[in-house]
Amino acid sequence: MSNGPTYGFDTLQIHAGARPDPATGARQTPIYQSTAYVFRDADHAAALFNLQEVGFIYSRLTNPTVAVLQERIATLEGGVGAVCCSSGHAAQLMALFPIMAPGKNIVASTRLYGGTVTQFSQTIKRFGWSATFVDFDDLDAVKAAINDDTQAIFCEAIANPGGYITDLDAVAAVADDAGLPLIVDNTTATPYLCRPIEHGATLVVHSTTKYMTGNGTVTGGCVVDSGKFDWSASGRYPSLADPEPAYHGLRFHETFGPLAFTFHSIAIGLRDLGMTMNPQGAHYTLMGLETLSLRMERHVQNAMRIATWLEGHEAVDYVTYAGLKSSPYNDRVERICPKGAGGLFTVALKGGYDACIKFVDNLEIFSHVANLGDARSLVIHSASTTHRQLTKEQQEAAGASPNVVRISIGIEDADDLIADLDRALAAASSK
């Protein structure tokens, strides 16, 4: 699209990054199912490999279909560039890879998806990295957790599974004072509900598997670069600021400026880690993005109505949806997520663990799956599945206690969903 008019979100989610195919005039972005691309001549090939020219070499690095998706997501998030990869977990490693080194650490929120807690508490140790987990509602604790080896701060905009909203402005202020990048997982909110870069985020990560694709067909991830962080200022980030031996001493930040992180993630991250998004997966996600705003509006509308109904049910102990007036995070909705608090929350049942299992087993419309953000309504008992590897203390801190069920509200008829929940709650309460 041209750089002239400023387009609205609904227009950009359909058109950003896409142009009619120059060979055929095809309006929909083609699936470029090709591993490699022909160079014009030897000089062209050399310029591409030297990073002197932007283009396509090999689909582990760049692919025309994936490139459209990257530009579209970056545009929707208000970033300067983006790199897509094979999954949300891959995106988290891609985000950390250029800024970490053995002996370094990150400060992470306790309210994270269980798989992320495992990745940060266990897996990254194999790289010599570590994570300190802190309640991000306690800003003094966040500050206290930062030390000379801290490289980044990590949180979720709307936390999975509880739907808690992080005060991104306050956390970004802490990161800025410490000279650290703030990485925000925006999977659960999507850029339609929240744009973390506008609240001070340096990098935004996504599992595009979820709301962005919206139909449960393909896994994917993305890292969006704000282009606003000075990677050369502190000496903490040599991969981006110092000479790179693999490119004859090229300095990424000096050479590419605001796009330093994006170029590094492609030229080194995808080159050497190989966590590539396939072009067909990118195509599915592009198709999903075309209706993102419409789906998110319905997700929010349904979630608000159903959470309100659940809160008044005699079998329910509490509901964590931030859109409810009873939520301690309700005052953050208008400031951080002005279009709504999302479609994800948890429900605590008075009958405890056993009631949760019976509840899940008696639902009909809701699908019992380890996913969220689908057009379909989904449910899972986090303590026995997605957060099973965590300690009881970690489960409680993450909002995934044994008496809690995670619900991802879809875009079906709300009356049908309420009737399904009512039947299952009745079954869970029976002796």
Contact predicate 269/276, CB 8 Å: no
With tokens 């970490």, the residue in question is: 100
By DSSP bridging, strand 182-185 and strand 105-109 are: unpaired
Coarse DSSP helix, strand, coil percentages of the chain, rounded to the nearest 5 percent: 40, 15, 45
Neighbour tally for 191: CB within 10 Å = 30
Contact predicate 100/238, CB 8 Å: no
Q: Residue 358: exposed, middle, or buried by beta-carbon count in 10 A (0-12, 13-18, 19+)?
A: middle
Length of the chain: 431
Closest-CA residue to 194 (of 186, 202, 203, 182): 186
Residue 245 DSSP symbol: G
pLDDT of residue 15: 95
Closest-CA residue to 205 (of 219, 217, 190, 216): 190
Q: Decide: helix, strand or coil at residue 153.
A: strand
The two tokens of residue 335 are 């400031």
Please state, in angstroms and rounded to a whole number, the distance separating the CA atoms of residues 192 and 214: 13
What does the pLDDT profile of the chain (431 residues) look like in tens digits?
A: 555 468 999 999 999 999 888 888 899 999 999 999 999 999 999 999 999 999 999 999 999 999 999 999 999 999 999 999 999 999 999 999 999 999 999 999 999 998 999 999 999 999 999 999 999 999 999 999 999 999 999 999 999 989 999 999 999 999 999 999 999 999 999 999 999 999 999 999 999 999 999 999 999 999 999 999 999 999 999 999 999 999 999 999 999 999 999 999 999 999 999 999 999 999 999 999 999 999 999 999 999 999 999 999 999 999 999 999 999 999 999 999 999 999 999 999 999 999 999 999 999 999 999 999 999 999 999 887 777 777 777 777 777 788 999 999 999 999 999 999 999 999 998 86
Contact predicate 351/340, CB 8 Å: no
Contact predicate 267/51, CB 8 Å: yes
Please state, in angstroms and rounded to a whole number, the distance separating the CA atoms of residues 18 and 322: 35
Please state, in angstroms and rounded to a whole number, the distance separating the CA atoms of residues 31 and 1: 20
In the sheet with 344-349, reading across from the earlier edge strand, the strands are: 316-319, 344-349, 404-408, 378-380, 367-368
Interval 340-357: pLDDT, tens: 999 999 999 999 999 999
Q: b/e map of 265-281 (b: 16 or more CB within 10 Å)? A: bbbbbbeebebbbbbeb
Catalogue the E-assigned strands of 125-165: 130-134, 150-156
Cα 398 vs. chain centroid, distance in angstroms? Answer: 17
Closest-CA residue to 168 (of 370, 35, 337): 337
- Give me the domains of the chain, ranges plus CATH numbers: 9-99+181-288 (3.40.640.10), 292-429 (3.90.1150.10)
Interval 92-121: pLDDT, tens: 999 999 999 999 999 999 999 989 999 999
Residue 158 DSSP symbol: B
378, containing H or E segment: strand 378-380
- Rg (the chain; Cα; Å): 22
